[in-house]
Structure 1
Amino acid sequence: MFEEIGYSSLGSQELRDYMAGEAESEYALVDVRQPQEYLAGHIPGARNMPLPEFGARLGELDPNARTVLYCQSGGRSRVAATMAVESEHFAAGLLNLDQGMNGWDGVAVDQAPRLQVFHGMTDPRQVLLKALELEKAALLLYNYVAKKADKEPVVKLMQDLAGMETAHAKLVYKELAKLGGQELAPFDDLFASLTGDVLEGGRTIAELKPWVQEALQGGGMEAAELALEIEYTAYDLYRAMAHENSDKASGEVFLTLAGQEKNHGRMILDRLDDLMEPTE
């Protein structure tokens, strides 16, 4: 990391370490490229604030959360960082990703977060029930791949992820129970009643069919790519919903869910070496 005038620049590995170690509420990740560039591939959890609009939209960012800026090569984000410094809006500091997406060697997701999954939901109870539905879909998918796969590393990864989805669903259920109000069915009964038609991140199982086929026909890396697509798309959606939601309680729920999805993604990344098939 090196200091600029009023902000610091950091490399790809430094940013990945920073994001892994920070609570979701402690930072905002902002992509200042044009919308079509953002849709083609962006860092999970980033919100799009194109540079031509950036100055007028500074007020959308929390001054008490550190803001991380990036673009394609680092030039536009440095301009945005300078604008942000001059605004004197940011009390928590500014970071710039040196070399931008050109230097980013972490996971990227395409398309915009599918906010319509939670359309019209401002009640934390509604949010958590929908989150349970998404967890159920991911569990069903991972169980399906584990059952159909014939390679042990793929089976093991999918079984582990299925277990994590169940554990995550139970955490969501606990948050739901804390809200009180309407009586809740026991977890097993409620979870069994959910259809799980839409996955975490807003994709349908049908949309992921090509990824599933690759995971079944390939080896561990193909399975890992399927799982990373699911987990980081979910992370991207939950971060976006936290920004979009005006209800503080719901926003905090989304950030909690985002943090849990990020942990799932890191578990997959940590196991990539084990999933590599030996070469002759």
Structure 2
Amino acid sequence: MNWKSLFTSGANMSPEEARKFMDVHPRDTYQILDVRQPKEYEQGHLAGALLMPVKEVTTRLGELDRDQPLLVYCHSGVRSKAACQLLLAEGFSEVYNMSGGIVAWKGEKISGGELQGLEFFMERDFPDVFHMAYAMEEGLRQLYLGLMDKVANEENKKFLERLAAFEEGHKAMLVAMFAPEDFSGIEDDEGRADDGIVEGGLDRRQIMAHFDSQLDSLEDILQLGIMLEAQALDLYSRLARKSEVGKSRELFHFLAKEEAKHLGYLTEKLDSLLAE
């Protein structure tokens, strides 16, 4: 351990700077570390963050990639500063403390623990991760199309249709890049979407019921889309971490990057709308 590093805490990064950092870097090129307690993590965390309470940092270093930047946060910035000091002392070179912590974060937060959403995959009979991912993409496509019937404004209908087209594009890329040789289609896996599962492990029917009368404006639609894409990014990131090196991890990393792109698009559109 380098004792001199105990007197430094790495570079500070404001929440806005952290958000810009995430926007310009592919999702699989950096790590987000939440050093709070499990209960705090469950109440709300950044999408894709790995939970590692500060007291566990030095005993779980093997879970971190030393070659990637580390963005560390806690509730208000105190524990994350301490965690950054420990990481620097252990030889991690690019460590950033998100000043102000999650209380200063203005973006989407994900609720639930590290196993949130995984029960959907344990309970359903998917032959492999490709079929599972394909069914989730189709589920979200059907959700966006279903929501079109709940909005009166034609412009908002077209925007929902565009979001559905994004998911159709995801499905096409999944088939091109990851489909097994015996994949025959489309019909079987689109049928699996009838289970109600959508990206992020959420239930489509519950979402439809909850937002039945709450999609009166483009802002409402954007807020819903941001919530869904952030939840999906979080789940795919956790699945990638839990997967062995190989095709499954590659698939989940790919999906996480795609969700990060969609999330960036939606948040930029919302920012522009609110600035008008």
- How would you bin the TM-score normalised by the shorter chain? 0.7 to 0.9
Q: Is the 8 A contact 2:9 2:97 kept in 1?
A: no
Mapped to 1, the partners of 2:10 and 2:275 lie a distance apart of: 43
Q: What corresponds to 1:127 in structure 2?
A: 129
C-alpha deviation, 1:65, in angstroms: 1.6
Q: Is the 8 A contact 1:9 1:96 kept in 2?
A: yes
TM-score normalised by L of structure 1: 0.86
Equivalent in 52, 55, 64 of residue 52 of structure 1: 55
Mapped to 1, the partners of 2:258 and 2:162 lie a distance apart of: 15
C-alpha deviation, 1:274, in angstroms: 6.2
Relative to 1, partners in 2 of residues 1:32 and 1:153: Cα closer, same or farther, differing over 3 Å?
farther
Matches within 5 A, 1:1-280: 5=8, 7-88=10-91, 90-91=92-93, 93-112=94-113, 113-119=116-122, 126-177=128-179, 180=180, 182-187=181-186, 189-196=187-194, 197-216=196-215, 218-272=216-270
C-alpha deviation, 1:160, in angstroms: 0.9
Kindly provide the amino acid, as one letter, of the partner of residue 82 in structure 1: Q
Kindly provide the amino acid, as one letter, of the partner of residue 71 in structure 1: C
Mapped to 2, the partners of 1:222 and 1:55 lie a distance apart of: 43
SS at match of 2:67: coil
Runs of at least 5 residues in structure 1 that lack an aligned partner in the other structure = none
What is the RMSD of the two structures over their aligned residues, measured on CA atoms?
A: 2.5
Mapped to 2, the partners of 1:8 and 1:210 lie a distance apart of: 45
Residue correspondences, number: 266
- Percent identity of paired positions between Structure 1 and Structure 2: 27
Relative to 1, partners in 2 of residues 1:176 and 1:120: Cα closer, same or farther, differing over 3 Å?
farther
Kindly provide the amino acid, as one letter, of the partner of residue 112 in structure 2: Q
Mapped to 2, the partners of 1:215 and 1:22 lie a distance apart of: 33
C-alpha deviation, 1:6, in angstroms: 5.9
Kindly provide the amino acid, as one letter, of the partner of residue 65 in structure 2: D
Relative to 1, partners in 2 of residues 1:277 and 1:21: Cα closer, same or farther, differing over 3 Å?
closer
Q: Is the 8 A contact 2:54 2:79 kept in 1?
A: yes
Give per-residue Cα distances to partners, 1:24-79, cap 9 Å, x unaligned: 22111011111111111111111111112222112211111211100011000000
C-alpha deviation, 1:83, in angstroms: 0.7
Kindly provide the amino acid, as one letter, of the partner of residue 142 in structure 2: L
Mapped to 1, the partners of 2:57 and 2:275 lie a distance apart of: 45
Mapped to 2, the partners of 1:191 and 1:148 lie a distance apart of: 26
Mapped to 2, the partners of 1:30 and 1:36 lie a distance apart of: 15
C-alpha deviation, 1:214, in angstroms: 4.1
Mapped to 2, the partners of 1:143 and 1:103 lie a distance apart of: 35
